[in-house]
Amino acid sequence: MDHWTAAAVAAVFVWLGMVLAISFLEAPLKFRAPGVTIPLGLGIGRLVFRALNSCEAVLAAVIVVALLAAGSLRTGVVLAVLVAIAALLAQVIGVRPALTRRSDAVLADASQAESGRSHAHYVYVVFEVVKVVALLSSGVLLLNF
């Protein structure tokens, strides 16, 4: 494995770890912590997910550059990486604005939270699962280069 492929593998697994840790561990647990109100949790979530999405964009760019520099582009790896990037773009461009509107409404009127999670929240989670599968697939495929 050349150093460019190794860099791509590292970036893929760092990205995967970040998504697993934040989306599937931190996000659900923060609302169970003592003293964390819904408005506080939403404020923290907005900051954390904005930072996560920024880091994801940087890692996606690193992966693309490393794969191009490695020169040995396999269809499965490219497809898996493109699926992960497409899921990220769908979240940031398509779903996050709806989540922002929903959190704005809850922050303006806490009783809005009683209606449960928004449909957009479930769509965001589906895209997170897609990203996890795509990143795990691309990482495994890269390790088998």
Mean pLDDT check: name the lowest of 9-13, 85-89, 109-113, 137-141: 109-113
Residue span of the structural domain in which 24 resides: 3-143
What single string gives the DSSP state of each residue in 50-67?
HHHHHHHHHHHHHHHHHH
Give the model's pLDDT for residue 104: 87
Please write the tens of the pLDDT for every residue from 117-131.
789 999 999 999 999
Please write the tens of the pLDDT for every residue from 72-91.
789 999 999 999 999 999 99
Q: Does residue 112 carry a pLDDT above 80?
A: no
Q: How far apart are CA 104 and CA 26, in angstroms?
A: 21
Number of domains in the chain: 1
pTM for the model: 0.92
Three-state DSSP class for residue 31: coil
Please write the tens of the pLDDT for every residue from 21-71.
999 999 889 888 899 988 888 889 999 999 999 999 999 999 999 999 998
Residues 6+ apart with CB under 8 A from 70: 2, 4, 5, 8
